[in-house]
Amino acid sequence: MALLAQVTDSLGPLANPDLRNNLIASVVGLVAVSVLRIGANRLIDQQIKDVRQRYAWRKWTGYLCYGLYTFAVVMLWLPSIAGLSTFLGLFAAGLAVVLRDPLVNLVGWLFILWRQPLQMGDRIQIGTHAGDVIDISIFQFTLMEIGNWVETDQSTGRIIHIPNSQIFQEPIANYSQGFKYIWHEIPVLITFESDWEAAKSILFIQLSQHAEHLGQSAEEHLRRAGRKYMISYSKLTPTVYTTVRESGILLTLRYLCDPRRRRGSEQVLWENILREFAKNDSISLAYPTQRFYMTSVNKEGPLLPRHVDGEMSSKD
């Protein structure tokens, strides 16, 4: 009997049958939930082919399994810790102070799920960071970075992890929600001596061939967005604006394009514009040049300039 008492004393709290049973049930429940989640994920991978839907189902399966497990564990252990209510209250208050940032991130995650300022696959900019959303977790969301040192909106290959709390501190620009398309402009600068009307006609033709087809599709998306946001455009068709600059005549192409195809559409337009301009001798692109006006010649030396224009755009 003395030996049994010594063994019982060495076990401490585990000698209590209720505590021991709760501990065993908690471990077994965790193993069962993990196995259930793995099986559910395999079933999802087999049944769902769409990448975004499969990702969403896997995420929500994990949240559901571990959420139910947490609830069950709390209900299991609650009778055993009822006498520790005062201690737990003080502990929870201290924990809230120490873990302020993780708690704010958790609230940010709930806000993302509720209001959906960003979703999987959206292209967004938050603060100085821009990219495609590739993951949303409890404490942070992840972007595949675009821009930065790379021209236009091309991917840099870097992955950026941003705390969920940033949605309360930084403005979010979403390229994908609401109105699906964005306005893009291409400036084309030609010399004053060029036939600007012919150049503008060429630009209109190129826009009608490569951007005009977005009109009806954009109007449909605009009608959908108008149900949620106050978005209104009087004109969605491509156009070309004419402006005079110091170094030439500026013709600006403005058209709608998909955010992920901005650079590709600009390349197609520029290549066709360069080909058409090369066929027309009356059109020249402007670039920084200098023009010299000579009024006298020094027979004993080189030409002497009387007047110099800087940064004149013309074709001499």
In this prediction, residue 264 carries a pLDDT of 87
Identify the H or E element spanning 312. strand 307-312
Separation between Cα atoms, residue 137 and residue 164, nearest integer Å: 9
**Residue 58 burial class via C-beta count within 10 angstroms: exposed 0-12, middle 13-18, buried 19 and up:** middle
pLDDT, one tens digit per residue, over 53-69 is 788 788 788 878 877 87
313, pLDDT greater than 50: no
When pLDDT is averaged across residues 26-37 and rounded to a whole number, the result is: 81
The contacts of residue 38 (CB under 8 Å, 6+ apart) are none
Cβ atoms of 243 and 227 closer than 8 Å: no
pLDDT, one tens digit per residue, over 188-219 is 999 999 999 999 999 999 988 877 566 666 66
Are β-strands 172-174 and 123-126 bridged in parallel, bridged antiparallel, or unpaired? antiparallel
Domains in the chain, start-ordered, CATH in brackets?
Answer: 2-98 (no CATH), 113-174 (2.30.30.60), 182-279 (3.30.70.100)
In this prediction, residue 98 carries a pLDDT of 64
178, pLDDT greater than 60: yes
The contacts of residue 254 (CB under 8 Å, 6+ apart) are 183, 184, 185, 238, 239, 240, 241
The structure's pTM equals: 0.61
Cβ atoms of 256 and 244 closer than 8 Å: no
pLDDT, one tens digit per residue, over 116-141 is 899 888 999 998 899 999 999 889 99
155, pLDDT greater than 80: yes
Q: What are phi and psi of 94, to 5 degrees?
A: -65, -40
In this prediction, residue 3 carries a pLDDT of 39
Closest to 182 measured CA to CA, from 227, 140, 222:
222
Radius of gyration of the chain (CA): 33
Q: State the Cα torsion 38-41-45-48 to the nearest 10°.
A: 160
In this prediction, residue 316 carries a pLDDT of 42
